Structure 1
Amino acid sequence: MKYLAVLFWSIVLLQMINFVLNSLNGGGALNYVTPIFGAIAFTIIIVLFDMVIKPKKHDTKEQH
């Protein structure tokens, strides 16, 4: 569920960035696909990062 929240907010925020940068560039047709691919890539990076830093259950039992 937490990864769905990351995906949702990354899509929302990247679409906002896309809109602002498009407006600063003079307007025109908005590209909706590129921010979605960026949000998916960002979510995959977050999932991989979470898998790397999460302690394993076997390691936590040995410490106690």
Structure 2
Amino acid sequence: MKYLAVLFWSIVLLQMINFVLNSLNGGGALNFVTPIIGAVVITIIVVLFDFVIKPNNNDTKEQH
């Protein structure tokens, strides 16, 4: 569920960034696909980062 929240907020924030940068560039056609692809990539990076920093169960049992 936390990864769905990451995906949701990354889509929302990247769409906002896309809108602002498109408006600063003079308008034109708004690209919806590129921010969604970027949001999926960011979500995958967050998932991988979470798996890397999560301690193993064997390591925590040995410390106690």
Output the TM-score relative to the length of structure 1.
Answer: 0.98
CA distance in structure 1 between the partners assigned to 2:62 and 2:8 by the alignment: 37
Tell me the number of residue pairs that the alignment of Structure 1 and Structure 2 aligns: 64
Measure how far apart 1:60 and its partner are.
0.5
Q: Which runs of 5+ in 2 are unaligned?
A: none
For 1:12, the equivalent position in structure 2 comes to: 12
Q: Which runs of 5+ in 1 are unaligned?
A: none
For 2:38, the equivalent position in structure 1 comes to: 38
| Percentage of pairs with the same residue | 84
CA distance in structure 1 between the partners assigned to 2:34 and 2:22 by the alignment: 13
Output the TM-score relative to the length of structure 2.
Answer: 0.98
Following superposition, which runs of at least 4 residues in structure 1 exceed 6 angstroms of deviation? Answer: none
